[in-house]
Amino acid sequence: MPKMKTKSAAKKRFRVTGTGNIKFQHAGKRHIQTGGSRKVKRRLRNAAVIDKTDHERIMRCLPYGTGF
């Protein structure tokens, strides 16, 4: 059987944690932040965990992540 390929877009955007959760960085933090409130910019600073409804879909793009 040939090896499965990891989706390049997914490997750049997601990291699988040791417990199997998937972390990602919020969008909207690159430029044009002058209109946003301090509270919103502060919340965008931190990484977040993918919702469980999207977990299986993203793990299909990362076949060698230790998700399950």
CATH number at residue 51: 4.10.410.60
How confident is the prediction along the chain (68 residues), in pLDDT tens digits per residue?
899 999 999 999 999 998 989 999 999 999 999 988 999 999 999 999 999 999 999 999 998 876 55
In a domain, 66, yes or no: no
Element (H, E) at 24: strand 22-24
Residue 49 lies in a domain: yes
The count of structural domains within the chain is 1
In angstroms, rounded to a whole number, what is the distance separating the alpha carbons of residues 30 and 6?
26
Inter-residue contact 20 to 67 (CB < 8 Å): yes
The neighbour count for residue 59, using CB atoms within 10 Å, is: 19
How much of the chain is in helix, strand and coil states, percent to nearest 5? 35, 10, 55
- Residue 47 domain boundaries: 8-61
| Residue 68, pLDDT score | 53
